Amino acid sequence: MPADPVELFLARWHGTERANKDLFLSELCDLLGVPRPDPAGPASADNAYVFERAVPLKHPDGRVTTGHIDL
């Protein structure tokens, strides 16, 4: 009986997904049967599905800094 792909994925990445996030996310996309993220470009508005998208973070004191979200 072939090994369960989900169990193999979990065993492979247990405890190491953060250090290898791009490869982890690529393999997760493969496991889920969805496309891998697109390459990021210079315009954040064009980066709908990328590994890291820049997003403005508005702080209570009025400052705006840049944060990042994955996928």
pLDDT by residue (tens digit) across 19-58? 898 999 999 999 999 999 999 888 888 888 999 888 899 9
Give residue 11's pLDDT. 93
Model confidence, pTM: 0.73
Token couple for 18 = 């953060």
As a whole number of angstroms, the distance between CA 42 and CA 64 comes to 19
Give residue 1's pLDDT. 65
Under the banding of pLDDT at 50, 70 and 90, the label for residue 71 is confident
Nearest CA to 40 out of 30, 51, 56 is that of 51
16 compared with 11, residue with greater pLDDT: 11
